């Protein structure tokens, strides 16, 4: 029986959006648990859908688990110095008090940028390695959107990356990390480790693993894991991070350096040959609404419009109004939009009460430039407290708290409004407000790809709309300053001219 310390520290940083992500945000209960310490880590995560949950399922009965802390700030602006230092110090301090341990497992994201560090996870791992020394096994799991760095690869002995986007395999990733840990405990630290960074960025809407080319790339990585290859991970990267190591990567841990290098080169070569295939058509909001109305007139299922650039899962504010304007001005009927975050509008709706008619300036409070509130008279159709159990494959089984909610209607459009941000990756918040998603003609969802996990089977067709928002679908439009020179900003696109610092 081994004594294994476990913990987690998640953030997916969009360096182009405000506000920064502070300590209070990590501590808040939203669409994920608040900051958890010691035994609360096991209580909250023991049977839910995070990577640590899967790890615990495999390892709890046969090993002594030492929980440190776990927290997730979701996606958003840069992590503040205060937040990173407090959380990292507490994790390392707790680990030092719990020594000796035989191994460490960390549930990380891989795209954290702080006020001081481009590579938040690498800095955290550096401090942990300094605390425990060079020989203790460390295994980590990473999100599919990780911007993997040499430090993430070098300080650890195995990387289990999500295999799916939408992320329906978080728990299974933890299980794969547990199996890797079992092998490391038996054989010792892996001497072979390789990292390959691809020479182009892949926009998020082109990264879906439900279709090619990503599905085939992921399948190749799993076929290459064998006796002398511990883990092979393809991580597609998170483009809204202005850092040197931004972009897709292949990371391998193996029995020898030669095997690690050969395996990583094979996967990187396969990805490079598919560069031209990473393309998904996109539409303006007006084009998307017009097409949706035409399709919906003959379809028996909803038409889904993804409001990809206001995806809070990529750091969007979830309150932009471009698609809302297009729906209303385009005369959409039987449409439902979610989830739009506007605490002021929710409060006004609750103050007025269900059945009331109120004038509101809805959304558009947080930019970007050109985004304005939608001024109109809305019917308050339904109210809710926002305390919901999710049901879909991406986040199923979580008890979330979105704060007070309201369902507003103007014309043929209903809007599910929340107090706290949540990407539209689960149907449960709609149902909380009396909306059955399958019964709508048009579903407008603030999401890029994750919505497919719970909504795709409902759809007659899926359209990708490019309305103004904090996450840009065209990576070449980001004002990068720190990318490595020569990196292509889109598949087959222009090259970065950044001067890396």
pLDDT tens for each residue of 117-175: 999 999 999 999 999 999 999 999 999 999 999 999 999 999 999 999 999 999 999 99
- DSSP symbol at 437: G
Task: Find the mean pLDDT for residues 418-430.
Answer: 97
* Cβ neighbours for 346, distance < 8 A, ≥ 6 positions apart: 403, 404, 405, 406, 417, 418, 419
Single out the residue of 143, 85, 93, 88 nearest to residue 115, CA to CA. 85
Separation between Cα atoms, residue 166 and residue 352, nearest integer Å: 38
Which residues is 36 bridged to in the sheet?
Answer: 70
Instruction: Give me 205's structure tokens.
Output: 């809407």
Confidence band, pLDDT 50/70/90 cuts, at residue 500: very low
Separation between Cα atoms, residue 267 and residue 252, nearest integer Å: 10
Q: What is the mean pLDDT of the chain?
A: 96
Does residue 203 contact residue 474 with C-beta atoms inside 8 Å?
Answer: yes
Look-up of token digits 């028996």 = 300
Alpha helix (H) ranges present in 70-213?
A: 81-98, 120-132, 150-154, 170-187
Confidence band, pLDDT 50/70/90 cuts, at residue 209: very high
Check the CA dihedral 435-441-446-450 and report its sign: positive
Q: How many C-beta atoms surround the C-beta of residue 198 within 10 A?
A: 21
Check the CA dihedral 82-86-88-92 and report its sign: positive
Which pLDDT score, from 0 to 100, does residue 498 have? 55
Express each pLDDT in 448-491 by its tens digit.
999 999 999 999 999 999 999 988 999 999 999 999 999 999 99
Give the three-state DSSP class for 151. helix
């Amino acid at each position: 029986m081994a004594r294994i310390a476990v913990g987690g520290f998640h953030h997916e940083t969009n360096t182009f959006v405000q506000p920064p992500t502070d300590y209070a945000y990590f501590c808040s209960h939203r669409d994920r648990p608040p900051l958890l310490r010691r035994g609360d880590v096991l209580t909250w995560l023991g049977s839910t859908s995070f990577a640590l949950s899967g790890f615990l399922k495999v390892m709890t009965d046969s090993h002594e688990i030492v929980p440190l802390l776990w927290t997730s700030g979701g996606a958003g602006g840069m992590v503040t110095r205060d937040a990173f230092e407090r959380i990292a110090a507490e994790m390392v301090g707790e680990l030092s008090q719990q020594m000796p341990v035989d191994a460490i497992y960390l549930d990380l994201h891989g795209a954290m940028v702080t006020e001081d560090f481009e590579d938040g996870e690498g800095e955290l791992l550096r401090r942990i390695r300094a605390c425990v020394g060079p020989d203790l096994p460390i295994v980590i799991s990473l999100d599919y959107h990780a911007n993997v760095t040499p430090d993430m690869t070098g300080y650890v002995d195995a990387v289990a990356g999500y295999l799916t986007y939408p992320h329906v395999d978080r728990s299974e990733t933890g299980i794969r990390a547990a199996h890797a840990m079992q092998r490391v405990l038996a054989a010792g630290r892996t001497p072979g480790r390789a990292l390959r960074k691809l020479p182009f960025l892949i926009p998020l809407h082109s990264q879906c693993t439900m279709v090619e080319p990503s599905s085939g790339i992921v399948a190749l990585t799993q076929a290459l894991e064998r006796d002398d290859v511990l883990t092979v991970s393809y991580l597609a990267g998170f483009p809204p991070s202005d850092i040197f190591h931004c972009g897709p990567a292949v990371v391998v841990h193996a029995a020898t350096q030669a095997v690690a290098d050969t395996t990583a080169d094979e996967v990187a070569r396969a990805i490079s040959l598919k560069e031209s295939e990473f393309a998904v058509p996109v539409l303006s909001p007006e084009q998307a609404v017009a097409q949706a109305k035409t399709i919906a007139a003959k379809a028996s299922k909803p038409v889904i419009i993804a409001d990809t650039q206001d995806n809070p899962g990529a750091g969007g504010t979830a309150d932009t109004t471009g698609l809302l304007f297009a729906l209303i001005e385009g005369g959409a009927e039987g449409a439902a939009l979610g989830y739009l975050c506007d605490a002021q509008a929710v409060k006004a709706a609750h103050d007025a009460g269900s059945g009331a008619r109120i004038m509101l300036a809805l959304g558009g409070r947080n930019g970007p430039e050109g985004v304005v509130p939608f001024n109109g008279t809305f019917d308050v159709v339904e109210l809710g407290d926002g305390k919901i159990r999710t049901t879909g494959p991406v986040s199923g089984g979580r008890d979330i708290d979105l704060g007070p909610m309201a369902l507003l209607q103007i014309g043929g459009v209903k809007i599910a409004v929340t107090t706290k941000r949540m990407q539209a990756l689960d149907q449960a918040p709609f149902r909380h407000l009396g909306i059955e998603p399958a019964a709508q003609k048009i579903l407008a969802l603030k999401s890029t790809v994750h919505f497919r996990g719970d909504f795709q089977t409902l759809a007659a067709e899926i359209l990708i709309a490019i309305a103004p928002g904090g996450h840009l679908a065209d990576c070449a439009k980001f004002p990068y300053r720190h990318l490595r020179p020569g990196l292509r900003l889109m598949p087959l696109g222009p090259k970065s001219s950044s001067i890396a610092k």
